Amino acid sequence: MSKKVLLVVPSTIIARGLEQIFNDLGEFEVSGILSDLSGSGETQVRTMDVDVIIVDPSVFDYASRPYVRNNLASLTSAAVLALESSPWDEESLKQYDGVISLYDAPTTVIRKVRSALEGHSENSRSEGEELSQREKEILICVAKGMLNKEIADLYNLSIYTVITHRKNITRKTGIKTVAGLTVYALLNNLIDINSVE
Amino acid sequence: MTSSTERHLLSASMKMADLMNLNFNLLGVLTRMGLPFGFGEETVAETCGKHGIHAETFLLLCSVYAFDGYLPPKDLLLKADLRDIVKYLRLSHSYYMDVALKELAASLETLIEPCDARRRKIIWQFFAQYKDELSKHFEYEEKVVFPHVEAVLNHHAGREFSIGEYEENHSNVEEKLEDLKNLVMKYLPAECSQQLIYKALFYIFTLEIDLEKHTLIEDNILVPIVNRLESHE
């Protein structure tokens, strides 16, 4: 079965071109095209079960561009590639699992998507949807009311890593607030009620 | 997506019964506006006229509930009656606090009865927190925002508050309700009754959709109208 690709590309010409390439070469198929991520777009990203997202960074405003990958990670577990429709700074492109250029040959596009998917699944897919041991540890700290900095110090992690874990916890459980996570931890016997009072 | 033809789909000459059959969420708009059932074959204009409600404004509120992603066109905003909008928002607040949340509370209470005491306590605390936040949010709107809107209408608004600040303050109380939904749906212990989980979820989903639309009315109708009036002061 071919892998599903979602395009988030404002240009219809480019979107149709990519769709054609995937059609011609098999292996991947375009299962959705969005022109931006505003409004219902985000919901669609969350609910569509795709393996790969190809996004033109120009759909994000300048300020949010550096955090795009993280924001998308909270919505989906798909691999995310950037489509370099105009030159972007290298730093902001590093967050993606791959970068496709407008001038890439069709076979290069396929190769890049394939390798992004492989690299991505080694990183995150393998852990599944249950909370990992580390995520549980961090969840317990959050439920007890610890701050990110305190959690980072306790486990010798960077704050950035703690934030990523917290985002993954929220993505998996669907629970966003600290109070909600506390209830979750208690219902799942991760903490004792005395430790939160 | 809402197409431009859909925007004007609702008209004051359509039968009230046809309007209500379009989407059952509109029943809430009808009752909160103080429009009674038993309208027989009356048109929207007729029923609204009888009860002193501006029909176009009523339809504007209905459109938000009936069409996802609805953005009111400028000409309809210009025609809308701000007093009716504020009236509707106030009555909605009472409905959420006095009816919707009470129903949800009662269903939640019976639902978690079989749980052990500590679980009952933490779930109940969480719900109480949510209720409290929502009520504070409404209180702020009723004590600060709506009086300001009324002052703008009467041309004696002070300079100490503008609707723009309200937009910034418009905190999201939705997250906690969404958490409650996921907790009830995904993580309640097996001793809870399936039928009662279903019932509680039904109330949560209904309230969630209703509050979402309520926020859209505030952001996309109330704020732009008041903004325009403020700049004309």
Chain A residue with CA closest to B117: the answer is A193
Mean per-residue pLDDT, A83-90:
83
B-chain residue closest to A172, CA distance = B182
Please identify, among A92, A127, A162, the residue that sits at the C-terminal boundary of a domain: A127
Please answer whether residues A21 and A106 qualify as being in contact, where contact means their C-beta atoms are separated by less than 8 angstroms: yes
- What would the pLDDT profile of A4-21 be if each residue is shown by its tens digit? 999 999 899 999 999 999
| ipTM summary value | 0.83
Do residues A84 and A169 both lie within one domain? no
Residue B92 sits in the same domain as residue B152 = yes
Residues A87 and A145 in one domain: no
Contact A182, A196 (CB under 8 A): yes
Q: Whose structure tokens read 């790969």? A: A52
Our count of domains for chain A comes to 2
Could you tell me the two tokens for A123? Answer: 């990183």
CB within 8 A of A80, min separation 6: which ones?
A52, A53, A54, A55, A69, A72, A73, A96, A97, A116
For chain A, the residue count is: 197
Average pLDDT over residues A167-180: 93
Q: In terms of domains, do B102 and B59 share one?
A: no
For residue A184, the chain B residue with the least C-alpha distance is B183
Same domain, A114 and A149: no
Q: Which residue of B69, B118, B183 is in closest CB contact with A184?
A: B183
CATH of the domain at B27: 1.10.3910
Q: What is the pLDDT along chain B (233 residues), one digit of tens a residue?
A: 444 444 457 899 999 999 999 998 999 999 999 999 999 999 999 999 999 999 999 999 999 999 988 889 888 899 999 999 999 999 999 999 999 999 999 999 999 999 999 999 999 999 999 999 999 999 999 999 999 999 988 887 776 778 877 766 666 678 999 999 999 999 999 999 999 999 999 999 999 999 999 999 999 999 999 988 888 76
> Is residue B106 located within the same domain as residue B25?
no
* d(C-alpha A179, C-alpha A147), whole Å: 14
pLDDT of residue A35: 85
Same domain flag for A25 and A102: yes
Query: Can you give the residue range of the structural domain that contains A92?
Result: 3-127
H-run or E-run covering A24: helix A12-25
Same domain for A142 and A174, yes or no, is: yes
Distance, in Å, from the CA atom of A71 to the CA atom of A65, rounded to the nearest integer, reads: 10
Residue A50's nearest CA partner among A95, A5, A10, A96 is A5
Residues B52 and B11 in one domain: yes
pLDDT at A69 over 80: no
Nearest to A145 by CA among A190, A99, A197, A106: A197
Distance separating alpha carbons of residues A31 and A4, to the nearest angstrom: 6
Give me A137's structure tokens.
């540890």
Sequence-ordered strand ranges (E) for chain A? 3-8, 28-34, 52-55, 79-84, 98-101
pTM, entire model: 0.71
User: Apex CA A193: angle with CA A162 and CA B127, to 5°?
Assistant: 85
pLDDT at residue A175 greater than cutoff 70:
yes
B107 plus B207 within the same structural domain: yes
Listed as own residue / partner, the contacts of B110-115 with beta carbons closer than 8 Å and 24 or more positions apart are B110/B196, B111/B184, B111/B188, B111/B192, B111/B193, B111/B196, B111/B197, B111/B199, B111/B200, B112/B188, B112/B192, B114/B191, B114/B192, B114/B193, B115/B188, B115/B189, B115/B191, B115/B192
B152: Cβ–Cβ under 8 A, 6 or more apart, which residues?
A: B163, B226, B229, B230, B233
Asked if A112 and A141 sit in the same domain, the reply is no
The answer on A103 and A41 residing in a single domain is yes
Closest Cα to residue B185, out of A111, A174, A86, A60?
A174
Q: Which residue of B has its CA nearest to A170?
A: B179
* B169 touches A at CB < 8 Å: no
Last residue of a domain, one of A112, A127, A142: A127
- Between A74 and A134, residue with greater pLDDT: A134
Beta-carbon contacts of residue A13 (< 8 Å; ≥ 6 apart)? none
- What is the residue type of B127? F
Q: Which residues of A touch B (CB under 8 A)?
A: 39-40, 173-177, 179-180, 182-184, 186-188, 193, 196
Place of tokens 């404004």: B57
| Number of structural domains chain B divides into | 2
Between the CA of residue A52 and those of A7, A9, B14, B205, what are the distances in Å?
Answer: 9, 14, 47, 31
CB contact under 8 A, A187 and B118: no
Looking at A71, A100, A127, the residue that finishes a domain is A127
Same domain, B85 and B70: no
Give B-chain residues touching A169 at CB under 8 angstroms: none
CB contact under 8 A, B183 and A186: no
- Do both B52 and B85 map to the same domain? no
Q: Are residues B135 and B195 in the same domain?
A: yes
> Do the chains contact at B180 and A180, CB–CB below 8 Å?
yes
Residues B205 and B144 in one domain: yes
B67, B99: one domain: no
Same domain, A16 and A86: yes
Q: Does B180 touch chain A (CB under 8 A)?
A: yes
**Contact (Cβ atoms closer than 8 angstroms) between residue B210 and residue B99:** no
Q: Note down the domain range covering B35.
A: 4-77
- Tokens 């375009």: give the residue: A30
